[in-house]
Amino acid sequence: MEAARSVIAERGPYSTTMRDIATAGGVSLGTVTYHFSGIAEILAHVLQGEMDSFYLPIAERAHAAPDAATAIRLLIDGFFADDERTAQHWRLWLDFWSLSAHNPTHAKWQESAYELWRTDVRKVLERGLAGGRFRVDDLDVAMADFLVTFDGLAVQAYLPGSKVGPAQAREYLHGWVERRLITAS
């Protein structure tokens, strides 16, 4: 799966072959085709691994933060880092979004991943409200606003050649938090 992750993140699912993955993984093509029906299925498995190796550590750091304002900043900084690992993560997700638009099985799995993300964001926002650090008129609206802004910036920050990079995305999202959530101390 690590070999598949690296190859697909570098080339994309439409330029990656099963043979490329087998070669990168040091296994026979037959081994790969025995376990997987195609690149889309491999990408789905890669993203399940991404949830454990990339997503969960960021979410765990946020949940362990001393307060909600720090927690939401940790989410932003973790998902919008300037490193290659984060760029690979987002390239894989961008590819999977496209595949999910045409495959009900992938769409269902993606929805479950989004449900986890929504739950984690809601917990942070509720923590901030309960602690008096955040102020919002409608939690559902604030959460939806954050999530669509977050996803839109992810698309812009990690597309090759984009004028918006991770640093600008982080800056905007931190500003969004200050403008929309943080109460005056």
Confidence at residue 138, expressed as pLDDT on a 0 to 100 scale: 94
Looking at residues 127-139, what average pLDDT do you find?
94
| Cα torsion 66, 67, 73, 79: sign | positive
The whole-model pTM stands at 0.89
Looking at residues 79-100, what average pLDDT do you find?
91
Looking at residues 161-182, what average pLDDT do you find?
94
Cβ pair 95, 8 in contact under 8 A: yes
Looking at residues 78-99, what average pLDDT do you find?
92
Complete domains list, the chain, with CATH: 41-180 (1.10.357.10)
CA distance 96 to 12: 10
Q: In this predicted model, what pLDDT tens digit does every residue of 134-168 receive, in sequence order?
A: 999 999 999 999 999 999 999 999 988 889 999 99
CA distance 38 to 108: 18
**Is pLDDT of 81 > 70?**
yes
**Is pLDDT of 44 > 90?**
no
Confidence at residue 85, expressed as pLDDT on a 0 to 100 scale: 93
